[in-house]
Amino acid sequence: MPTEVLAALQPQPGGLYLDGTVGGGGHARLILEASAPDGRLIGLDRDPEALRRAAQVLATFGDRVILRHRNFSEATQVLTEFGLEGVDGMLLDLGVSSFQLDTAERGFSFREEAPLDMRMDPTTGPTAAEVVNELEAAELIRIFREYGEERWAGRIARRIVKVRQEAPLRTTRQLAELVRQVVPGGRVPSRIHPATRVFQALRIFVNGELEHVAEGVSRGLDLLKPGARLVVISFHSLEDRIVKRIFQQEAKGCICPPRLPVCSCGRVPRIDLLPRKGVRPGAAEVAANPRARSAVLRTARRRPGLI
């Protein structure tokens, strides 16, 4: 959603912007172009390979861009390291990137046989294989239900525990085939593979995605200068619910009980929602990039005069 991102963020010359999920550098490049000649950008990503690709794309911008191998939930610490207190705009493009999905050896997709990894930062943390081979059935059920909203979580978890007693699950297609065999109707060809929700759940759990979203959005609002904007793109309902909840809480004024005749809390809205509802990609973009069909863009503007 490049057009929508620029319209929401409104980068200006001389501004300081933070791209918390710099990925391949596409959005960052547009922000730097729009804020020329002296706008600056700090780009963060937890994926070292994404940072290498971004460095190549953004090389022509010289010292106007700084890239760091950090999670966007650590944005406050990164700014502190540079002696900075706030930004003029921040972008979070959540979820897994197309590059990660299309790189078979990362294990995010079951289209090809690959190690069951799924880590956005392959330098740290447990892999998806370690999760499915080591956790108890009850915990696997929780993960599949909470992060994948999987109806057949119990059946799938119990089959995993049974199968791994003979040999551990190591590859993407092993797990996908197990799910296909277990889910009722899973053997019938369908537009959506029956393992899709399980893979989503494992990816979210392995990377702690929802916890980072909650932390990153809350801290992102703290980093905005008065009048600055936080733009967030989410790709599934679990992410979007968190973003929407935080935005609505921060856009709310008085929270006193309705029975009180006058306000005693003194709370005032910290942000404005622009617009109040999320923005969806246009038909042309969805046609050109079907993965964009589930995207929702939300924008919050820090109210002037508020600390």
Query: How much is the pLDDT for 266?
Result: 76
Question: CB–CB of 159/184 below 8 Å?
Answer: no
What does pLDDT average to over the chain?
A: 93
Fold category of 104-207 in CATH: DNA polymerase; domain 1 (1.10.150)
Q: Could you state, in order of their start, the residue ranges of all structural domains in the chain?
A: 2-93+209-302, 104-207
In CATH, the number for domain 2-93+209-302 is: 3.40.50.150
* Residue in the block written with tokens 């009850």: 138
Look up tokens 């399980």; give the residue: 198
Query: Is pLDDT at 53 greater than 90 in this prediction?
Result: yes
Q: Which of 150-154, 215-219, 266-270 has the lowest mean pLDDT?
A: 266-270
Indicate the pLDDT class of residue 188, thresholds 50, 70 and 90: low
pTM of the model: 0.91
- Which tokens in the block code for residue 44? 């963060």
Band the pLDDT of 268: cuts 50, 70, 90.
confident
Given this model, what pLDDT does residue 198 score? 97
- What mean pLDDT is predicted for residues 166-184? 95
pLDDT band of 293, cuts 50, 70, 90:
confident
Name which of 61, 69, 57 is nearest 36 in CA terms: 61
- By mean pLDDT, which of 24-28, 166-170, 174-178, 286-290 is the weakest? 286-290
What is the pLDDT, as a whole number, of residue 267?
A: 79
Residue 16 has pLDDT above 60, yes or no: yes
Q: How far apart are CA 96 and CA 102, in angstroms?
A: 10
- Residue 66 CB coordination number (10 Å): 14
Q: Is the pLDDT of residue 264 over 70?
A: yes
Report the C-alpha gap between 169 and 175 in whole angstroms. 7
